[in-house]
Amino acid sequence: MAIPLSIHNLRDGGFRTVLSISGISIAVTLIFMQLGFLGAVLDTAVLFYNNLKFDLVVRSPNYYHFCDANKFSDVWLNKIESDASVVSTQPYHVSLAKWNYAEKSVQRGMLVMGADPEGQTFRDGNISVSLPDLSRLSFPRAILVDRKSRPQFLGAKNRERFSDADIGLEVELNQKACKIAGVFELGTGLAANGAAFIHESDYRELFPNYDQDDVTLGLVTLNEKAAMNPSAARDAICRTLGFSLSSTPPVEILTRAEVVKVEIVHWVTNTPIGFIFIAGVVIAMIVGAIVVYIVLSSDIAKQIGEYATLKAMGYKNSYLSRVVLEQAIILGVVSYVIAFLVSLLLYQVVGKAANLPITMTIDRQIIVFVSTVTMCSVSGFIAMQKLRRADPADLF
């Protein structure tokens, strides 16, 4: 079986081909990493929502993001719970507090969430997390601390990771003495050094401006029939409550899909995070395209005589262009495989170091593969222009 001319050219390139593949692999690895970071940020942004049990979320119209959700009166939860389509409502409280422990006088930001241990707060089935055991909140100002909280700031006993060894550690939250009653592993979000749960009655003590009837979020569970179409159930509840489209309602009611979408849009469009990582992907693609173009252009310049000879023998530009395009695609595919393997390792190392859930998804693999082939093909197409100008007269 005859070896294609494109493979011959790459093989004869020797060290230059190896160097080219290395350069493109670095660019593709950068794309993988930027998309990985962006995906981890977005996963972290909706981490708590993904593990809370609800069909609808009730929140303040002044809601900004999960850690700055504002508050509303639980009167609205009581009204919603009276609807025939609603099985139950669960108040949920969340805000940032100031954490301090005995050895330090510096206060750190801590995400504190309050819930009723008797309620159905969390979804089951997510084996990648260790959900809080709220039954441990059995004594005044008992708290549960996320293992992923930053130990260097928050006083873990081994300064590496919160664990059962820290149970009994006395700390301060908003200058109120609290004691660690247990640990869990869910995630700390994007706006704090750590995360903790506390009984909802103790939560109100930590925040003096938080009245007895205040609620941050309302978790609404629908009956089986209504849960099949939560948007329709939400619209029916809004009509029952007398909300109109012409005025701002006292509370917002969103489905799970809506609240997740809104949270992701916030972190991508309203903060620099999304722009930074998207710009990183674009820059990495530009770098890769330039590397491919330089490689193919230099290869064509070096072998211009051979290409002119092929033209003199009757080979058309279409055939020679296909050779160059094949070279570009081969470079892209080989570089992609190398970058994929390197990225798998980096995801593990960097994810652990940065405390971010960076995972290699099928969608990301497809996106990066298509981007790599497209990037190399475009560079190959541009490099073809030099080939089209090759003339048999160049032989003499």
Kind plus residue range of the DSSP H or E element containing 84: none
Q: What does pTM read for this prediction?
A: 0.78
Per-residue pLDDT tens over the stretch 120-154: 889 887 777 788 999 999 899 999 999 888 776 66
Tell me the C-alpha to C-alpha distance, in Å, between residue 101 and each of 78, 136, 152.
Answer: 38, 21, 11
β 108-115/252-255 pair status: unpaired
Kindly tell me if the per-residue pLDDT of 1 is higher than 50.
no
359 exposure class (CB count in 10 Å sphere: 0-12, 13-18, 19+):
middle
Q: What is the pLDDT of residues 286-315, one digit of tens each?
A: 877 787 777 767 766 676 666 677 777 776
350 backbone dihedrals φ, ψ, rounded to 5°: -70, -40
**Segments of the chain assigned E as strands:** 56-59, 72-73, 86-101, 108-115, 142-146, 170-173, 176-184, 195-199, 214-215, 217-222, 252-255
The first and second tokens of residue 375, run together, are 């990037």
**Which range, 68-72, 273-277, 289-293, is most confident?**
68-72
* Whole-number average pLDDT of the chain: 83
Q: What angle do CA 47, 53, 58 make, to 5 degrees?
A: 90
